[in-house]
Chain A
Amino acid sequence: MSGKNHLREFTKGFLEENPTFVIVLGLCPTLGVSTQVSNGLGMGLSALFVLFFSNIIISSLRKVIPDSIHIPAYIVIISALVTLIQMFLHAFVPSLYASLGVYLPLIVVNCIILGRAEAFASKYGVLDSALDALGMGLGLTMNLVLISLIREVLGNGTITLFPVGSWSGVINVPVLHTYPVRVMALASGALLLMGYLKAIFDVFMNRKKDK
């Protein structure tokens, strides 16, 4: 595979095969945790870690794991990686672990992870699988941060990052902090925003194709 193709494996997760707005996978955690920017970033990076290592391991073992047992084998590998990140977040970033709650163990059944393992890592080499995971993971992180940022700013009037020293990590947005658009913090607001963002994304991609 040429260098150009390697680059394509990496960049496709941002636009043409964007996991949220084009493939429309992993919507449950995307909508569930996108209430704060720190949650979106934490979930995105956790999924990126799992995706990156699961793709590498599955790609390395693709000739060893027979077709008839590939799903249980992939699930064991993915769930071990999720448990690993769960343990380390619980121990070393307990606030993020608490914020992500039930969505962290649910990465095991995130369609993006199993989807990439099944559609890509089980068929291609380690380098391309790693690049595919990086692109898809970064694309997902970007989407999660974007959705979280819009929802938190409109729905709560704040931007929650990670605390540093004496700084709490929370930025208050004038006016919206006093008069927030509460619906954006609720599940209905998440669905509404997702619809608008997908529409904008589709228009952008169609214009790109026309050119």
Chain B
Amino acid sequence: MRKNLRYAFILFAICAICALILAYANSITAPVIAAHDAQAQEDALNPLANGYQIESVIALSNDKTVVGYYPLTEDKKQVGAILILKGSGYGGEFTLLGSYKLTGEILGAKMLSDSETPGLGKKSEESWYMMKFVGTGLAIPVPTSKSMLSKEDSDAVSGASVTFGGVSKALAYGSEYAKKLGGAK
């Protein structure tokens, strides 16, 4: 019993010291990381606006995929939205921005943060990766499986099917959400 208590105390002491050091490191790095994230989000918004005016963000708490959106307006009338989408890839949760017209048509998309595999799922961070989704969501459905892609696009996502599945499902969901914002039921 006494031996077990000694072991528990040693482990507790190691954990407590580690936690204290990490808490101090977090107090130094957390504000810098938050500033980076805010800057990255701001930098990503303008190219996705397609010339429309970007309004202030509206945060949502009742949706697991769409956690917020920036309304896109023209002459003070809402014509679209940039949705902040959460999805799940091979490396866990990712955040991406999807720009939509209120008809559900995708205007553009950009991966904001992810933990995908370098050389495979990480390709989703590159601008060409999202081009296969642009223009879909209205007449052409959002491609949610590799069979809906051209051979070239299908080859480009090979080796990272889980990432493609996560990104495409989030964008397809966003398209339906944008339609609802436009008044569709």
Interfacial chain A residues near B114, Cβ < 8 Å: 101
Question: 1/0 contact trace for A123-134 toward B, CB 8 Å?
Answer: 000000000000
Report the stretch among A7-15, A65-73, A166-174 that lies at the interface.
Answer: A65-73
**B14 engages A94 (CB within 8 Å):** no
What is the chain B residue whose CB lies nearest that of A64? B10
Alpha-carbon distance between A103 and B121 when the two chains are bound, in angstroms: 13
Interfacial chain A residues near B14, Cβ < 8 Å: 61, 65, 73, 76-77
Interface size of A by CB at 8 A reads 34
Verify if A18 is at the interface (C-beta below 8 Å from B): no
Indicate whether A33 sits within 8 Å of B159 (C-beta atoms), given known contacts A87-B26, A90-B29, A91-B32: no
Interfacial chain B residues near A94, Cβ < 8 Å: 36
Interface size grouping (class) on chain B:
20 to 34
**B118 engages A83 (CB within 8 Å):** no
Interfacial chain A residues near B115, Cβ < 8 Å: 101-102
**A187 engages B29 (CB within 8 Å):** no
B98-132 with Cβ < 8 A to chain A:
114-120, 122, 125
Interfacial chain A residues near B184, Cβ < 8 Å: none
Indicate whether A35 sits within 8 Å of B7 (C-beta atoms), given known contacts A77-B18, A83-B22, A91-B32: no
What is the chain B residue whose CB lies nearest that of A190? B119
Verify if B11 is at the interface (C-beta below 8 Å from A): yes
**B118 engages A101 (CB within 8 Å):** yes
Alpha-carbon distance between A102 and B118 when the two chains are bound, in angstroms: 8
Contact of B29 among A32, A76, A91, A185 (CB under 8 A): A91
**A84 engages B25 (CB within 8 Å):** yes
**A90 engages B33 (CB within 8 Å):** yes
Contact of B7 among A69, A83, A102, A187 (CB under 8 A): A69
Interfacial chain B residues near A76, Cβ < 8 Å: 11, 14-15, 18
What is the chain B residue whose CB lies nearest that of A84? B25
**B25 engages A101 (CB within 8 Å):** no
**B116 engages A102 (CB within 8 Å):** yes
Indicate whether A185 sits within 8 Å of B11 (C-beta atoms), given known contacts A84-B21, A87-B26, A91-B33: no
Alpha-carbon distance between A185 and B160 when the two chains are bound, in angstroms: 14
Verify if A100 is at the interface (C-beta below 8 Å from B): yes
Verify if A92 is at the interface (C-beta below 8 Å from B): yes
8 CB contacts below 8 A, A to B, read A32-B118, A36-B118, A69-B10, A76-B11, A83-B25, A101-B114, A101-B117, A102-B115
Binding site for B on A (CB under 8 A): 32-33, 35-36, 39, 61, 64-66, 68-69, 72-73, 76-77, 79-80, 83-84, 87-88, 90-92, 94, 98-103, 185-187
The 3 A-B residue pairs with the shortest CB-CB distance, nearest first, are A80-B18, A91-B29, A91-B32
Additional A-B contact list (5), CB under 8 Å, known A64-B10, A76-B14, A187-B159: A36-B118, A91-B32, A98-B125, A102-B91, A186-B119
